[in-house]
C-alpha cells in the first residue's frame, strides 16, 4: 500500500533540514533550484495522487472514454448486496431496513433496482418510496416450472409480474427455469444441477416462446437468465436455448453466473458478440477467484459448498473491485460494440456480515476501505466505476 503524498511545502522543508544536517554550506541558489524541482515534480502528479490506494488496487492513469448514452443505457443495482432474497438469514443484525436499502441505492447514483422480499406489498407505497428517491423497479424475477409439467402455474406467475411491471418505468421480465433447480439446496450446485432430456428442453422452449410472444404483445421483453444450479447454466445450454427459441425470447447476460459455471472471460465476450441483438438485460457480477477455487475444490470433498455457502464466503463482488477476476472494461466495450441498450444491473450477492473483505476500488477511495465494509461501500465502488463509461 502506498503512503499518502505529503504536501509540497512540507517536502521542501524536510529536504532543507536534511541538507542542513550534513553541516555543509550549500548556496541559496542551489536550494531554491531544488525546491522548484520538487514542486514541479509534485504538481505534475495526477490529481488523484493525494488519495491512498487500498488493498491490492492501483491508481488508474486515465479513465476510459465514455461509451454509453444514458438515454439508451441505464444503471441499476439489486438489493442482494444488502439482503439476500433466496436466504433471508443473509442480512445484517439487526436486519437492514427496506428504506435504508433504497436510500443507499439512490445515494450511490443508481436509477433502478430489483424487488425484494422485504419491500412493501403495496404497489402505491412502493412507487411513492421509489419515486421520491428517483428510482424505479428495473425487473421482477420469475421462476418457471415448464420442465416438471407446471405450465399453467408458470404462465400465471408470469402474467402477475407483467401486470406488476405496468406500474414502473421498465419493460423487462427476468425469467429462469427452476424445474429441478438446486441453487437453494445445501449441495454442490454444479454437479447436482438438473440435466434436461429432449422432452424437457421442448417443454421449456415451447413455454418460453409462448411467454415471449405474450410479453411482446404487451410491449414487454422476456429476458432469460442462465443461472448456476439450474438446467440452463453453461455456454452449451445457452446455445441450445437460443437455437430453439424465437426472437421474442431475449437473453440476459450474467457475468458472474457464467464464470462460476465454467465460462472464461473470452467465452463471455464471444457470447455477447454472437447474441448481441438478443441481449436485452445485463447483470454485472464479479468473482473473487481465490474464493471460487475453494468452492470448486470443496465439490470433491464430503461436505461440498452450496451456492448459498459460496455467497456467504464472498465469491461475488462488484465491478470496479480490483480483487475481482473479470475484466469489465472489456465486457462493457463489447456490449457497446454490439450496440447494447437497456439496463446494466450490478448484482453481486454479498453477506453483509462478512468482515473478511472490502471492495478494492479502481481508483483510491476518499477514505481507505478496511474491513468490515458495509453494502454502501460496495454500491459506491461499483457506481464510481461504471459512471466513467457514460457520456453525461
Point out the residues of the chain with pLDDT beneath 70.
1-64, 362-372
- Asked if residues 276 and 305 have their Cβ atoms less than 8 Å apart, the reply is no
User: What pLDDT does residue 61 have?
Assistant: 43
**Residue of 331, 254, 324 whose CA lies nearest to 286:** 324
User: What pLDDT does residue 364 have?
Assistant: 60
User: What pLDDT does residue 55 have?
Assistant: 45
Domains and CATH numbers, the chain: 8-45 (no CATH), 73-387 (3.20.20.150)
Cis peptide before 249 (omega within 30 of 0): no
User: What pLDDT does residue 363 have?
Assistant: 62
User: What pLDDT does residue 353 have?
Assistant: 80
| DSSP string for 251-275 | EEEEHHHHHHTT--HHHHHHHHHHH
Degrees to nearest 5, angle at CA 378 with 373 and 380: 120
Pairing of strands 286-287, 141-144: unpaired
pTM over 0.95: no
Taking each helix axis as running N to C, give the angle between helix 151-165 and helix 198-217, from 0 to 180 degrees, rounded to the nearest 10. Answer: 30
Cell 477455487 belongs to 293
**Residue of 75, 47, 40 whose CA lies nearest to 61:** 47
| DSSP string for 323-382 | TS-S-HHHHHHHHHHTT--EEEEE-----TT--S----BSS--SS---SS--HHHHHHHH
- Asked if residues 369 and 358 have their Cβ atoms less than 8 Å apart, the reply is yes
Phi, psi torsion values for 139, nearest 5 degrees: -165, 150
From CA 77, how far away is CA 347, in angstroms rounded? 6
**Residue of 191, 194, 164, 188 whose CA lies nearest to 176:** 194
Beta bridge partners of residue 321, listed in sequence order: 361
**Residue of 374, 346, 329 whose CA lies nearest to 60:** 329
From CA 154, how far away is CA 177, in angstroms rounded? 9
**Residue of 265, 261, 276, 284 whose CA lies nearest to 345:** 284
Taking each helix axis as running N to C, give the angle between helix 123-131 and helix 98-107, from 0 to 180 degrees, rounded to the nearest 10. Answer: 30
User: What pLDDT does residue 362 have?
Assistant: 66
The CA-to-CA distance between both ends of the chain, in Å, stands at: 33
Query: What letter does residue 59 receive in the DSSP assignment?
Result: -
From CA 263, how far away is CA 190, in angstroms rounded? 13
Cell 413455454 belongs to 207
Phi, psi torsion values for 226, nearest 5 degrees: -60, 135
3-state helix/strand/coil string of 217-235: HCCCEEEECCCCCCCCCCH
- Asked if residues 109 and 84 have their Cβ atoms less than 8 Å apart, the reply is no
Sign of CA dihedral 314, 340, 167, 222: negative
User: What pLDDT does residue 303 have?
Assistant: 87
Phi, psi torsion values for 291, nearest 5 degrees: -70, -45
Alpha-helical regions (H) of the chain: 8-21, 28-43, 98-107, 123-131, 151-165, 198-217, 235-243, 255-260, 265-275, 289-298, 307-313, 328-337, 375-387
- Asked if residues 324 and 286 have their Cβ atoms less than 8 Å apart, the reply is yes
Amino acid at each position: 500500500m502506498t503512503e499518502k503524498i505529503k504536501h509540497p511545502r512540507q517536502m521542501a522543508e524536510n529536504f532543507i533540514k536534511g541538507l542542513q544536517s550534513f553541516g555543509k554550506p550549500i548556496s541559496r541558489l542551489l536550494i531554491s533550484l531544488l525546491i522548484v524541482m520538487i514542486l514541479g515534480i509534485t504538481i505534475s502528479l495526477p490529481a488523484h495522487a493525494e488519495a491512498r490506494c487500498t488493498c491490492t488496487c492501483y491508481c488508474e492513469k486515465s479513465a476510459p472514454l465514455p461509451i454509453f448514452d444514458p438515454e439508451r443505457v441505464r444503471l441499476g443495482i439489486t438489493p442482494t448486496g444488502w439482503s439476500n432474497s433466496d436466504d433471508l438469514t443473509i442480512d445484517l443484525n439487526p436486519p437492514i431496513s427496506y428504506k435504508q436499502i433504497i436510500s443507499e441505492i439512490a445515494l450511490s447514483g443508481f436509477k433502478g433496482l430489483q424487488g425484494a422480499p422485504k419491500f412493501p406489498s403495496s404497489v402505491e407505497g412502493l412507487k411513492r418510496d421509489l419515486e421520491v428517491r428517483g428510482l424505479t423497479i428495473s425487473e421482477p424475477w420469475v421462476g418457471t416450472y415448464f420442465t416438471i409439467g407446471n405450465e399453467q402455474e408458470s404462465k400465471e406467475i408470469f402474467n402477475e409480474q407483467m401486470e406488476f411491471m405496468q406500474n414502473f418505468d421498465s419493460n423487462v421480465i427476468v425469467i429462469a427455469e427452476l424445474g429441478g433447480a438446486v441453487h437453494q439446496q445445501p449441495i454442490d450446485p454444479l454437479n447436482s444441477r438438473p440435466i434436461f432430456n429432449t422432452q424437457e428442453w421442448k417443454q421449456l422452449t415451447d413455454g418460453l416462446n409462448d411467454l415471449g410472444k405474450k410479453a411482446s404483445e404487451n410491449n414487454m421483453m422476456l429476458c432469460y437468465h442462465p443461472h448456476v444450479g439450474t438446467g440452463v447454466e453453461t455456454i452449451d445450454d445457452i446455445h441450445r436455448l437460443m437455437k430453439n427459441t424465437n426472437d421474442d425470447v431475449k437473453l440476459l447476460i450474467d457475468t458472474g453466473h457464467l464464470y462460476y459455471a465454467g465460462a472464461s472471460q473470452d467465452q463471455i465476450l464471444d457470447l455477447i458478440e454472437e447474441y448481441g441483438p438478443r441481449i436485452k438485460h445485463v447483470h454485472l457480477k464479479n468473482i473473487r477467484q481465490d474464493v471460487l477455487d475453494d468452492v470448486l475444490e470443496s465439490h470433491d470433498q464430503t461436505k461440498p459448498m452450496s451456492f448459498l455457502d459460496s455467497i456467504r464466503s464472498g465469491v461475488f463482488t462488484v465491478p470496479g473491485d480490483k480483487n475481482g477476476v473479470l475484466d469489465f472494461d472489456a465486457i462493457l466495450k463489447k456490449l457497446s460494440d454490439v450496440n447494447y441498450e437497456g439496463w446494466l444491473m450490478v448484482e453481486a450477492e454479498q453477506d453483509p456480515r462478512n468482515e473478511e473483505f472490502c471492495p478494492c476500488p479502481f481508483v483510491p477511495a476518499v477514505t481507505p476501505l478496511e474491513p468490515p465494509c458495509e453494502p454502501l461501500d460496495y454500491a459506491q465502488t461499483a457506481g464510481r466505476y461504471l459512471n466513467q463509461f457514460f457520456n453525461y
